[in-house]
Structures are given as structure tokens and as C-alpha cells.
A = this chain, B = another copy of it.
Amino acid sequence: MKIRVYYEDTDAAGIVYYANYLKFCERARSEQFFARGLSPESEDGYFVVKKVEAEYLKPATLGDMVEVTTELLEKRGASIVLMQKVLKDGDTLFTMKVKLAFLKEGRVCKIPPHIYSILSDWNES
């Protein structure tokens, strides 16, 4: 997934504001659903972020075209762990290991099979 860095993403230090890399990663996770005509939040439940371990390697700047990659590290019954990276021209700028729990009506819940199949694309990335 390609993302352009716009003014809104940058701050007065001239680089992308540190919280905004998390936005880029969330866009990639949600796009996995949207691209199939699905919503990341349905009657069947939704993922919530439980844990983030992020490393900031190099900054992105205004106008950069960055790429977000997503890899599935762990698949459990009610949670997954992803490795997401933001790259520019093949250079890694940011990495984030993110644990997501699956909830339904506010409670942890088994991930339904059709959601599992959506996630399976991430194995290859």
C-alpha cells in the first residue's frame, strides 16, 4: 500500500509526526477490509489494538511516497500479531509489531473463519 506524505502528516520539525506512522499502518490494516467491500467493524466483531512495539529508524518528509507492508507473525484464536513496516524506496523508516485482539460487543471473541481468510493475504507479504 502506497501512501503520500502530506502537510497534515508533518510537524514543525519538518518530518512526519511520530504518532502518524501508526495512522499509516492502520490504513493498511483497514484497506485489507475495504478493498473487499467489507468494513473492519461489523456485526461479527472488530479488532482492537492491545500492544504496540515501534522503532523509528529514519524520518519521512513532506511529499515522500512511502509503502506500508504487513506480515502476519502470530495467529491465535482471538488475537493476531502483525509486523508492519513503513518503507521509502526499499529503505525501512519505521517498524511496528502490533497485537490486535478480536472483540464482539466489547468482549474478546474467537476470530470467525471469513475474517481469518482475509488475514491470510498477509502471510505472503
Contact = CB atoms under 8 A, between A and B. Distances in A.
Interface stretch (A19-27, A84-92, A107-115): A19-27
B11 A23 contact: no
A49 B53 contact: no
Interface of A: 4, 6-8, 10-15, 17-20, 22-23, 26-27, 30-31, 33-34, 39-41, 46, 48-56, 59, 61-63, 65
Given A7-B11, A46-B13, A34 B63 contact: yes
Given A19-B22, A26-B6, A12 B62 contact: yes
B56 A54 contact: no
B56 A18 contact: no
